[in-house]
Amino acid sequence: MNENNKKMVLAGAGVVVVLILVVWGIMALRGGQQTNQPSNPTAAAVPAPYTGPVQAPLSGTDLAKASPDVSINDGSFSPGSVTIKQGDRVIWVNKGTNVHAVTSDGGLFQSLILNPGQRYQFTFTVKGTFTYHDSTNTGMTGTVIVQ
pLDDT in tens, 42-53: 444 445 554 554
Nearest CA among 128, 123, 132 for reference residue 104: 132
Q: Please return the burial class of 21, using the count of CB atoms within 10 Å of its CB with bins 0-12, 13-18 and 19+.
A: exposed
Cα gap 46→103, rounded to integer Å = 13
How sure is the predictor about 35, in pLDDT bands with cuts at 50, 70 and 90? Answer: very low
pLDDT at 20 over 90: no
Cα gap 15→19, rounded to integer Å = 6
Q: Please return the burial class of 56, using the count of CB atoms within 10 Å of its CB with bins 0-12, 13-18 and 19+.
A: exposed
Range of weakest confidence among 25-34, 35-44, 99-108, 124-133: 35-44
pTM value is 0.57
* CATH (residue range 61-146): 2.60.40.420
87 vs 52, 80, 119, 127, CA distance in Å? 21, 20, 19, 9
pLDDT, averaged across the chain: 76
Distance from the Cα of residue 90 to its chain's centroid: 17
pLDDT at 16 over 90: no
Question: What percentage of the chain carries pLDDT values higher than 70?
Answer: 55
pLDDT at 146 over 90: yes
